[in-house]
Amino acid sequence: MDPVRILLVEDDSQLGESLEAALRLEQYAVDWLRTGEPVKAALGSTPYDLLIIDLGLPGVPGMQVLRQLRADKHRLPVLVLTARNTIADRVDGLDSGADDYLSKPFDIAELFARVRALLRRKGEQRSTQLQAVGISLDPADRLVSFQGQAVDLTAREFAILEILMRNAGRYVSRARLEEGIYSWGEEVESNTVEVYISRLRKRFGSSAIETMRGVGYRVPA
């Protein structure tokens, strides 16, 4: 079996060295970068399973690396290391695409626990294919097909469809769907959800999404 590959981005030599050594002792394959600039190329050339990145980096800040990564549709789990620990920083980081957060200083056992949890979650996502009304949606690889044909969706269309598919058979409120697209960072207009629902119906047929007035929307199971 291939080893689990971790890309570590940390400019602090002492911390970087000890993290690299500790992760290797746990049998992970680790590559260590001191700055964010080479991250994109590294992810393009090696199939990493996890990224551990410090936010305070010289040059391109970790947060910007993270945003770029998600804009490029990289789906690998990201654990952010930061000396900052305010609620706003956490929310910023999570909005930028971090899956989990660890504030410095931290215990190495805590880091291992977070790493294992993220890798486990990644494994579970891989095996989940959501299926209903002829639509098949793979949350990990962000692929959608309809009656066997691949379908291209925008990020927001995908986000709404994923929530509906995860709740197939149950009505989901408009507020819940709005929450699902807030994380894409723009203001949500009052009729935004309706607009996306109508686009999705054009793709998958009007019966693919049912409306119950005052309750919400559902994909029939």
Binding site for Ca ion (CB under 5 A): 11, 54, 56
Nearest-approach distance from CB 15 to Ca ion, in angstroms: 8
Q: Name the residue nearer to Ca ion (CB basis): 96 or 167.
A: 96
Query: Which CB sits closer to Ca ion, 56 or 139?
Result: 56
Q: How far is the CB of 151 from Ca ion (least distance, A)?
A: 42
For Ca ion, the nearest residue by Cβ is 56
DSSP 82-133: ES---HHHHHHHHHTT-SEEEESS--HHHHHHHHHHHHHHHHHHHH--EEET
Give dist(CA 148, CA 171) in Å, integer.
26
* Residues 6+ away with beta carbon under 8 Å from 93: 55, 63, 66, 80, 82, 101
Burial grade of 138 (CB within 10 A; 0-12, 13-18, 19 or more): middle
Q: CB of 180 within 8 A of CB of 157?
A: no
Please say which residue, 82 or 167, places its beta carbon nearer to Ca ion: 82
Q: Which residues pair with 52 in a beta bridge?
A: 8, 79
How far apart are CB 81 and Ca ion at their closest, in Å? Answer: 8
Shortest approach of Ca ion to residue 54 CB, angstroms? Answer: 4
CB of 181 to Ca ion, least distance (A): 32
11 vs 89, which CB is nearer to Ca ion? Answer: 11
Closest to Ca ion by CB, 63 or 172? 63
Q: Which two tokens stand for residue 211?
A: 């409306």
